[in-house]
A and B are shown apart, each in its own frame.
Chain A
């Protein structure tokens, strides 16, 4: 099974910009992996922020954006707020095996 990799932890200053990445052990991440990004705050269920690489949902704050960067999926937070402190998970589809695989998550600290 493919392994999806994320930075274990990152720190960003309030108002700053940070990019989280999501890589695949099988090679470059492409739009065909339908990359997702989810946010989970302590004690809460996750929520979907980004689908299909860069598409936002109605509740996704404008300061979050998704892209492909250097063979990885990327989530960029521009203008970090204290409430953005959370765990962030990426999810990739491996259509040849009809599987979805999560990354291990990135713990983002706003400090």
Chain B
């Protein structure tokens, strides 16, 4: 059974950093592209970025709103995909979702999301 479980969310002050984890099971994380989406409270969905599968070189792409500040990486030995968020802003407050897919793979399975609140 495919499962994705996000963790690492919480309250953080503006300008600080936070790292989210997405632990996957039921498939090999390196065999698929993996993406992060987010949803601000009461708002719509926003694509954050993706990391390509190993077969495609494992490179990354990001939305303009997070380019430079956010980094997606993976540790396939642990079946974890990370979202490193630096220089957080209040507008980064959202539920962050991990999704399988994004480049060469369809978006199919979603995690349950983890809430990040950026506030002083």
Please state if B106 and A51 are interface contacts (CB–CB under 8 Å).
yes
Please state if B107 and A91 are interface contacts (CB–CB under 8 Å).
yes
How many contacting A-B pairs (Cβ < 8 A)? 48
Closest CB of chain B to A94's CB: distance in Å? 11
Binding site for A on B (CB under 8 A): 35, 37, 44-47, 50, 61, 63-64, 97, 102, 106-108, 110-113
Is A46 on the interface with B (CB-CB < 8 A)? yes
Which of A47, A48, A91, A105 is close to B47, meaning CB atoms less than 8 Å apart?
Answer: A91
Give the contacts of A16-42 with B (CB-CB under 8 A): 36, 38, 40
- Count A-side interface residues using an 8 Å CB cutoff: 23
Closest CB of chain B to A97's CB: distance in Å? 9
Given A45-B97, A45-B113, does the pair A102, B108 have CB atoms closer than 8 Å? Answer: no
Is A86 on the interface with B (CB-CB < 8 A)? no
Chain B residues with CB under 8 Å of A87's CB are 44
Please state if A47 and B110 are interface contacts (CB–CB under 8 Å).
yes
Q: Chain A: which residue is nearest B111 at the CB level?
A: A45
Binding site for B on A (CB under 8 A): 1, 36, 38, 40, 45-48, 51-52, 55, 57, 87, 89, 91, 98-105
Closest CB of chain A to B48's CB: distance in Å? 9
Closest CB of chain B to A59's CB: distance in Å? 9
Q: Chain B: which residue is nearest A100 at the CB level?
A: B47
Q: Chain B: which residue is nearest A1 at the CB level?
A: B64
The distance in angstroms between the C-alpha atoms of A45 and B96, with both chains bound, is 10
Chain A residues with CB under 8 Å of B46's CB are 102
Please state if B44 and A99 are interface contacts (CB–CB under 8 Å).
no
